[in-house]
Chain A
Amino acid sequence: MTDLTSLTLAEARKGLAAKTFTSLELTDAHLSAIEAARVLNAFVMETPEQARDMARAVDEKIAKGDAGPLAGIPLGIKDLFATKGVRTTACSKILGNFVPTYESTITSQLWRDGAVMLGKLNNDEFAMGSANETSCFGPVGNPWRREGSNTTLVPGGSSGGSASAVAALLCMGATATDTGGSIRQPAAFTATVGIKPTYGRCSRWGIVAFASSLDQAGPIARSVRDSAMLLRSMAGHDPKDTTSVDIPVPDYEAAIGKSVKGMKIGIPREYRLDGMPAEIEKLWSEGAAWLKAAGAELVEVSLPHTKYALPAYYIVAPAEASSNLARYDGVRYGLREQGRNINELYENTRAEGFGAEVRRRVMIGTYVLSAGYYDAYYLRAQKVRTLIKKDFEDCFARGVDAILTPATPSAAFGIGEKGGADPVEMYLNDIFTVTVNMAGLPGIAVPAGKDAQGLPLGLQLIGRPFEEETLFSLGEVIEQAAGRFTPARWW
């Protein structure tokens, strides 16, 4: 039955509907795969009993012909999503054994549509990281290795567990979140498809917050179609999140296979970095050529404020994080380290509960919001953000339908290889992705090829607000041209 795990979500849906196999069988196959892949450390909490219960319940519904669009599909859930009765930690020690009494809006919509929860997935602590190395549960292994090497590589971050689990066939899809690239970069590192929808497309209610104005949830899946199916269930207006937008959710899957003829694709000249590896450059040109071959028109565009995006992002995101993480104080839930007075309790709890990267960002954020620095940092960064947004608006106003860029400046790297001495080295991973969060736009990462060492590389498509469908159409063109990539199993 293990080959059930290699099906795409769309294929599994067909098999379930035809009663070729049951959701319980599909779920069991994945539970076995998870058990066999513990070395990857993708799951931080396995919920096999709950998974089987859910699968049985869905099977009954399928039998009655009362099946939702994701009926019987086993999924992994990033540990940032609150799951009722199931430990939710954001992979931070400070949440300890926190068990929510509530279910995030997104996951409750997935269960509504019949999906099955396999467990909780590893991520960077509070989603702060680009390699999944800051998790309190330890790093995640990428199922991909360099040819001829047995060095374990990072799956990217912060949704490293999601990307690794999907690539290693441990779940048919996963929820993820993206604040500066946390869906798209790990998708690119693992040859999976990840889409960060438009800000406001998905509810943030019940997702542990990192930077509220940038956070947006989305799926990671094994094909463009699969990601479209998942997003349809995840998206939607939620009165409990006032930043979510009340516009109808289209049938994203219908965009798959739609002609891209006549679409205008912008190639931004500012994304051509000095010292960019030749193979990234080549991948980019190839992707452009595939789109052109499918009838799209290529135009060079300019996004002049791109170079300020990363520094501005590393002011805005930590500023919001420093405030969002203030609630983890040891008073009401999670870890508490006693002290002789309340200030010591705060200091001890937060020093013990937060890892180094989280502490660094809380300190940066506190600093940039401080009296006397606010104008020079936070306010200026917000101005930059406005300019970045305007860059994109100008571009779209000239008729550009989507923008094509590389997803990452490199392929996956080894655990501990980057950022040890200089955190900025790690931050540079997000150079192509942060602009999209700053502008609140949708962005998809699609596998497009491999580097010389056999590691996957991805391309990113950036769309107009709430035009995710365009990205699915274009993404599928790349997917068709590039083919699909599956890692050789070593675990």
Chain B
Amino acid sequence: MTTATHKLLNGATGDWEVVIGMEIHAQVTSKSKLFSGASTAFGGEPNSQVSLVDAAMPGMLPVINEECVRQAVRTGLGLNAQINLRSVFDRKNYFYPDLPQGYQISQYKSPVVGEGEVIVDLDGGRSVSIGIERLHLEQDPGKMLHDRSPSLSYIDFNRCGVALMEIVSKPDIRDAEQAKAYVTKLRSIMRYLGTCDGDMEKGSLRADVNVSVRKPGAPLGTRCEIKNMNSITFIGQAIEYEARRQIEILEDGGQIEQETRRFDPSKGETRSMRSKEEAHDYRYFPDPDLLPLEFSQQFVDELKAKLPELPDQKKTRFVADLGLSAYDASVLVAERESAVFYETVLDKLGNRARDGKTAANWVINELFGRLNKEGRDITASPVSAEQLSGIVDLIGEGTISGKIAKDLFEIVWQEGGDPRALVESRGMKQVTDLSAIEKVVDDIIAANPDKAAQVKDKPQSLGWFVGQVMKASGGKANPQSVNDLLKSKLGI
């Protein structure tokens, strides 16, 4: 692992280091809510998925949804974290119309998951380790609808009581790039695990970002918390802005007020929401309606045994078994769907040891490149893993050249079809018959005696001959054979 150097920010008084910690709220993938049987499906008619418990009717009691506990433990295992066999649900008390109970059931002093670690991949194959402080389960509140009436607010309680995992990082993040990469990595791990769909547009993943600045080596500065960020791009922008704002204040001799801020994406700036003095006193105490959450080590071990391979393990395996570069491997594993695609290609390959690396290049360069250009998702790729593997097979076995393969890829992308059949029917097969190639080579040398004479002094002009031969063969000549033949005939 290459330890990343992080970006320092230049101020008038010298360099500043930014210190960032994050609280990620990740909606647990589960059919029903954390403490009730109501559905968690997104997009239902307002208030159509609300149980008596969610609406906090008199005398209603919460009952823990064990699936949510399993998901939290699985996530904890994915974060290489301490799993606490005993944890406690607390009540976080505050009044708000979207909070029917008047308190949120959360975990305060004893979370279900303790300290862990995430390796975050950065550009250029660098990576950095970010510590996890804890992960706990809590209820999501409902949603206020302010646009239905000029004078009244409405509330949709469908989301109310849905399970969230709050994942708290240590203040180990040092710049916007790391912050963005951290969220991306967490999201990736949870998608691999199937514990959170990570859909930020639907609010399945939200981040509170704590930012402070200090002179390198100095004690931690006063932090500000930017609430409820639901886009990785905005997280980066907010950090850049907030760090600059704090540096400016400090360099002008001012002090940072600890406060909660909101990011305004249209202006690209953060604005104060409430100061520390206005902060709530949540009066946390253990929820007497719920027993402490206890499970056995065996329960954890069983979940652990059934965990899918996670991105870091997959990356290591790709590098070790297939000889991929660390960078290529990390690109392939970054999203679960990409890794699944690549592994399907591998599975279908005729000779995986020989062509695994070629397949990686094709997935990353040709396929991802093309998908990006057209703004399409890997799951909506017109070229299937099977088709791509067919193309790579044809290259590997020498049936087509890389150049022809690009044409073939284009045909498959546009028209579909079986690559091998296409090569046959369209006469795209590479000519490996040496005598056929030799004739073309001889003809070209004979037609260009001047250049043939020069090539001994200027070996780089060999390329021109190769080009001519390939052109004359309609691109079907085997480039290696062409090269070898030219060299011997030209005497270089």
Contacts and interface: CB of A to CB of B under 8 A. Distances in A.
Interface in A203-251: 204-209, 211-213, 239-243
Contacts of A81: 59
Contact of A323 (B57, B91, B100, B291): B91
Interface in B57-89: 57-64
Interface string A349-390: 000000000000000001001110010001000000000000
B281 interface: yes
Contact of A205 (B61, B91, B102, B153): B61
Nearest to A211: B288
A333 B57 contact: yes
A346 B56 CA distance: 16
Contacts of A424: none
B288 A327 contact: no
B93 A323 contact: yes
Interface of B: 52, 55-64, 91, 93, 95-97, 100-103, 153, 155, 281, 283-285, 288-291
Interface stretch (A94-102, A284-292, A452-460): A94-102
Interface in A399-458: none
Contact of B58 (A100, A241, A319, A371): A100
A319 B103 CA distance: 13
Tell me the dominant secondary structure on chain B's binding face: loop
Nearest to B59: A206
Closest 3 CB pairs of A and B: A326-B102, A213-B288, A369-B283
Contacts of A204: 59, 61
A376 to B, nearest CB: 14
Contact of A366 (B91, B283, B284): B283
A323 B285 contact: yes
B100 A327 contact: yes
A482 B290 CA distance: 42
Contacts of A211: 288
A479 interface: no
B64 A242 contact: yes
A243 B281 CA distance: 28
B59 A242 contact: no
Given A323-B102, A323-B285, A242 B291 contact: yes
Given A204-B61, A374-B285, A331 B97 contact: yes
A329 interface: yes
Interface string A322-337: 1101110101110000
A243 B290 CA distance: 7
B101 A378 contact: no
A343 B95 CA distance: 9
Nearest to B282: A371
Given A239-B63, A243-B289, A323-B102, 4 more contacts: A320-B288, A323-B103, A342-B153, A366-B283
B103 A326 contact: yes
A331 B59 contact: no
A332 B55 contact: yes
Contacts of A240: 61, 63
Given A242-B61, A346-B95, A329 B102 contact: yes
A370 B94 CA distance: 12
Nearest to A367: B283
B57 A100 contact: yes
B59 A327 contact: no
Interface in A13-59: none
Tell which of A204, A242, A342, A346 has the most Cβ of chain B within 10 Å: A242
A214 B60 CA distance: 16
Nearest to B283: A369
Contact of A242 (B93, B155, B289): B289
B36 to A, nearest CB: 10
Contacts of A207: 59
Nearest to B55: A332
Interface residues of A, number: 44
A82 interface: yes
A101 B57 CA distance: 10
B58 A90 contact: yes
A427 B171 CA distance: 49
A206 B103 CA distance: 19
A327 B56 contact: yes
B97 A342 contact: yes
A327 B102 contact: yes
Given A100-B57, A204-B59, A327 B285 contact: no
B449 to A, nearest CB: 93
A152 interface: no
A208 B57 CA distance: 9
A8 interface: no
Contacts of B155: 331
A108 interface: no
A208 B58 contact: yes
A320 B290 CA distance: 13
A326 B101 contact: yes
A88 interface: yes
A210 B96 CA distance: 21
Given A242-B290, A326-B95, A369-B283, A208 B59 contact: yes
A102 B291 CA distance: 24
A209 B93 contact: no
A104 interface: yes
Contacts of B55: 332
A369 B285 contact: yes
**Which of A102, A104, A332, A370: most chain B CB closer than 10 A?**
A332
A205 B288 contact: no
B61 A241 contact: yes
B59 A104 contact: yes
B57 A102 contact: yes
Contact of A378 (B58, B61, B153, B285): B285
A329 B57 contact: no
A96 to B, nearest CB: 12
A298 to B, nearest CB: 36
A378 B55 CA distance: 28
B59 A209 contact: yes
A243 B57 contact: no
Interface in A286-330: 319-320, 322-323, 325-327, 329
Contact of B60 (A88, A205, A343): A205
Given A205-B61, A207-B59, A242-B63, A332 B100 contact: yes
Given A326-B101, A332-B100, A369 B288 contact: no
A82 B101 CA distance: 17
B285 to A, nearest CB: 6
A417 B153 CA distance: 47
A369 B56 CA distance: 21
B93 A326 contact: yes
A390 B94 CA distance: 34
Given A323-B102, A323-B283, A329 B288 contact: no
21 contacts: A82-B57, A100-B58, A104-B59, A204-B61, A241-B61, A242-B64, A243-B288, A320-B285, A320-B288, A322-B93, A323-B102, A326-B93, A326-B101, A327-B102, A332-B55, A342-B96, A342-B97, A343-B95, A346-B95, A370-B283, A378-B285
B281 A371 contact: yes
Contacts of B283: 322-323, 366, 369-371, 374
A319 B57 contact: no
Contacts of A243: 288-291
> Which of A90, A95, A320, A370 has the most CB atoms of chain B within a 10 A radius of its CB?
A320
A424 B288 CA distance: 25
A147 to B, nearest CB: 41
Nearest to A244: B61
Residue of B57, B61, B291 with highest tally of chain A CB at under 10 A: B61
B290 to A, nearest CB: 6
Contacts of B289: 209, 212, 242-243
A369 B93 contact: yes
A8 B102 CA distance: 44
Nearest to B64: A242
Given A327-B101, A369-B93, A319 B285 contact: yes
Contacts of B101: 326-327
